[in-house]
Structure 1
Amino acid sequence: MARASAHSARATRALQKLSEADPALAALALWCQHRDRDLGDLPAQSQGIRIAYGPAFEGLSLSEQMGLCAHHILHVALRHSARAATLELRLGPAYAPDLFGIAADVLINETLRAAGYIQPRPHVTLATLGRAAPVETPRDLLGQYDAERLYMALRGGGGDEGNSERARKALAEAAEADGYRADLAPERDEGAGQEETRETQDFEWRQHLARALEAGKLAGRGIGALGFRLADIPESRTPWEQTLRGLLARALRDAPQPSYRRPAGRWVAAEAEARATARPVPVFEPARQRDSLQPRIVLGLDCSSSITGTDLAHFAAQIARIGRRVMAEIHVMLFDEVVQSHRQMRGARWFETLAEWEFSRDGGTSFVDVIAQARALSPSALVLLTDCDGPFGEAPGRLPVIWACAEPPATRPPFGTVLTMER
């Protein structure tokens, strides 16, 4: 048992040399657990804060061992294992672990290449992504994309699930040809004995990263001296599904409203006391009562947008879950320049009905007609799944409008709340 928990003998020399070459990674390595394991022909694997080194690790040159140690230290420090588990919970069966692994590896490998590290060859880089690459240069990639956003960008397909599946298959084949092998295991719950929450661990690793990168910057070497910000450094972010639930919960809240059909209880008491003591009767105060009508949500789906079928499926599942929870009446409008179809969705299988709903994606986009028709239903909230590329028209009064976009819109709507689904 003691041997199983001992520090890795295979990685000791590489970690020692790494501590001399890179102050940032040396500091981060101290917070990782380094263990020797039987991984078959896989040199190393990371899960949570643990990095395992297999027999194949010993067959690498010292420079390659240092690069591979750096690779997995960054997996741990950037919380990729925990973030993979979170993304799996969010996306459910649609989650593709190898696609997230490719995204994370590309970001790490390009970071280490920029810092001058030698890694075992071949390995995945921005060039591996080919036409699926969202940017042209490694610097733009590292400055603009974190692992989740790159994962979403790599799903591809432009709304055609056949194209999307072919694009993912082509990317997987290219990655395999460039040496990609799954070396990241999702972090699992260790049970009730685990005192620290995932949020606390995320916060602590952000602190570790900040201090380590500052040390590297002051020393002028290693990843701390890159001279640009890495977008993949974990930040405190709220998943868009949670934001959507919060926005709709506020919109659907059944707040008590004044009702002049009966007086407020405190007014009755004050009026009785005033008559008994011959004082002036207070001004009438109405009672407050809740609206007994069923709340209503209008969901507008932009037929001409860049929303993919996968995005639509995930988004629709979230709306369906919210609708069942609050017992809301859900109306779905398909629109481009005008509303093409309008249905009230009923039953538990309403998304299957939506999936069979045929519509064209060739038209332009205008929000004037869909907002007007939505207002006529007096809903509690209007949610528009769109890319925000079209005339917005006038604000619909007090009706809460939520713009759900796959990516940050080029033109921000003049009213409502923008919800970005890129993470």
Structure 2
Amino acid sequence: MSVHSERAAPALAHLGEADPALAALALWIAHRDGEPMRSDATTIHYDAAFALRPRPEQVGLAGHHILHVAFRHAARMAAMAEREGARFDARRFTLAADALVNEALIAAEHALPRPAVRLADLLAMLDAAEESPEAALAVWDVERLYLALGAEEARSGGGESADYARRMGLAPDLEPDPDGGAEDPQAADWQGHLARALEAGRQAGRGIGRLASALGDLPAPRVPWERRLRGLVARALGHRPQPAPTRPARAWIAREAAARAAQTATPGFEPALARKGARPRLAVALDTSGSVEDATLARFAAEIAGLARRTAAETHLLAFDETVHEARLLPPAGVEAALRARPLRRGGGTSFEEVLAAAERLRPAIAVVLTDLDGRFPARPAMPVLWATPSAPRATPPFGRVLEMDG
């Protein structure tokens, strides 16, 4: 792709020597002069101040935005905004994305304008420091970091990350993709661009390519957990229509009327399709031992409430730790509010024996258990079980499907 930015041309030309991987990635990006300095899903805009910086800082700042585009941060920002709705915090997402690309560039020995936000600083706020910058980059991606910062702010009731962003002079340099959403159609293409560029850098032995095996924030075609939860539960709750022998299909009524009018043979009878039986039943088991963050519970509650509305499911709440301490039928219009109003009982251990026995007595289409999976398991029940866990479980449960909700 040709370069149309006069301001960036010298720095981009220097990239071929300084960092072969960034130089290769830059070829797939549009470069334009414009105010302010920013990037979106396809283009980097370079402001007048960029041309006045020392060449090493120009290279580092161009690399910062090249990685934003290559890591698909604009598209992922739009996807997170769609997931979170009114809860979405663009400032926090930009902070997480900037910290990740800055840490990668500093590890690759590039210069950046100071002050620069650092992943190490954010992990210190979360009490999640890693052994090295490379280890941190391998573990964290922008979605996980954004959600972790939000959970910490909700826990502490403060805005430590917002204060940090103000102290560091964080500017809104990332524009969400206006065409973005749950899926990024370019993610697979950029996976290929990155793989080839990083391999070229690795072979050259310099620049960002040396970190190829330590970058955990690479773009990937991903399905948000909310959509997976929706699909798994909806399929379990769905009723397949069955033939109703006493009710004719509308198409048959029309054909039969046309045959009578034309005095031709009456077509063979076709029954209508209808749902049979009671409305579907959903058991929602909520682990109240303290392992589920409020932000995660809020998104989980919204999804379950939406499923209950769309499927007209009869929804039962079972709050538990080692025993079931609350069991009630939730009102059709108040499922989300009831789930978010967490029971006061906290602490203690976790056992799935009593809660799954209670759920089985309800004869639900499916039981959805929100938990960290750290507890005692019973024998496999007859009903389907979906384990919704806030992060990767330490061990695989002996039955059911696991849905990781982290990120």
Question: 1:95, 1:303 → 2: CA distance?
Answer: 26
Correspondence for 2:81 among 77, 82, 88: 88
Trace 1:14-413 onto structure 2 (pairs within 5 A): 14-39=11-36, 44-129=37-122, 130-136=124-130, 137-157=132-152, 161=154, 163-166=155-158, 169-189=159-179, 199-226=184-211, 228-255=213-240, 291-356=276-341, 358-397=343-382, 399-413=383-397
Q: Assess, with a 3 A threshold, how the Cα gap between structure 1 residues 133 and 139 changes in structure 2: closer, same or farther.
A: farther
Question: 2:351, 2:328 → 1: CA distance?
Answer: 19
Question: 1:351, 1:318 → 2: CA distance?
Answer: 8
- Give TM-score, length-normalised by structure 1: 0.84
- The equivalent residue for 1:281 is none
For 2:141, the aligned partner's letter is D
The runs of 5 or more residues in structure 2 that have no matched partner are 247-272
- The superposition leaves residues 136-189 of structure 1 with CA deviations (integer Å, 9 ceiling, x where unpaired) of 2312211111111121222234xx94x3441xx111212332342221111102
- Give TM-score, length-normalised by structure 2: 0.87
Question: 1:16, 1:348 → 2: CA distance?
Answer: 61
For 1:334, the aligned partner's letter is A
Question: 1:227, 1:184 → 2: CA distance?
Answer: 23
Question: 1:83, 1:227 → 2: CA distance?
Answer: 21
Deviates more, 1:221-230 or 1:210-219: 221-230
Deviates more, 1:118-127 or 1:51-60: 51-60
Per-residue deviation, 1:230: 1.0
For 2:332, the aligned partner's letter is G
Per-residue deviation, 1:229: 3.4
For 1:155, the aligned partner's letter is G
- The equivalent residue for 1:282 is none
Question: 1:115, 1:356 → 2: CA distance?
Answer: 47
Matched position secondary structure for 1:300: strand
Per-residue deviation, 1:258: 12
- The superposition leaves residues 346-397 of structure 1 with CA deviations (integer Å, 9 ceiling, x where unpaired) of 1323322344454222222111111010000000000011111110111112
Q: Assess, with a 3 A threshold, how the Cα gap between structure 1 residues 240 and 257 changes in structure 2: closer, same or farther.
A: same
Question: 1:304, 1:97 → 2: CA distance?
Answer: 31
Contact (CA 8 Å) 2:3, 2:9: kept in 1 or not?
no
Question: 1:313, 1:200 → 2: CA distance?
Answer: 28
For 2:31, the aligned partner's letter is H
Per-residue deviation, 1:50: 1.0
For 2:121, the aligned partner's letter is T
The runs of 5 or more residues in structure 1 that have no matched partner are 191-196, 263-287
Question: 2:385, 2:402 → 1: CA distance?
Answer: 9
Per-residue deviation, 1:227: 5.4
Question: 2:15, 2:370 → 1: CA distance?
Answer: 48
Question: 1:357, 1:404 → 2: CA distance?
Answer: 17
For 2:164, the aligned partner's letter is A
Matched position secondary structure for 1:200: coil
Question: 2:21, 2:125 → 1: CA distance?
Answer: 33
Question: 1:377, 1:334 → 2: CA distance?
Answer: 15
- The equivalent residue for 1:269 is none
Contact (CA 8 Å) 1:25, 1:73: kept in 2 or not?
yes
Question: 1:252, 1:366 → 2: CA distance?
Answer: 26
Matched position secondary structure for 1:383: strand
Question: 2:184, 2:168 → 1: CA distance?
Answer: 35
Per-residue deviation, 1:257: 8.3
For 1:182, the aligned partner's letter is P
- The superposition leaves residues 277-312 of structure 1 with CA deviations (integer Å, 9 ceiling, x where unpaired) of xxxxxxxxxxx9853210011111110132111111
Question: 1:331, 1:388 → 2: CA distance?
Answer: 20
Per-residue deviation, 1:412: 2.0
Matched position secondary structure for 2:346: coil
Contact (CA 8 Å) 1:213, 1:223: kept in 2 or not?
yes
Q: Assess, with a 3 A threshold, how the Cα gap between structure 1 residues 19 and 251 changes in structure 2: closer, same or farther.
A: same
Identity of paired residues, percent? 46
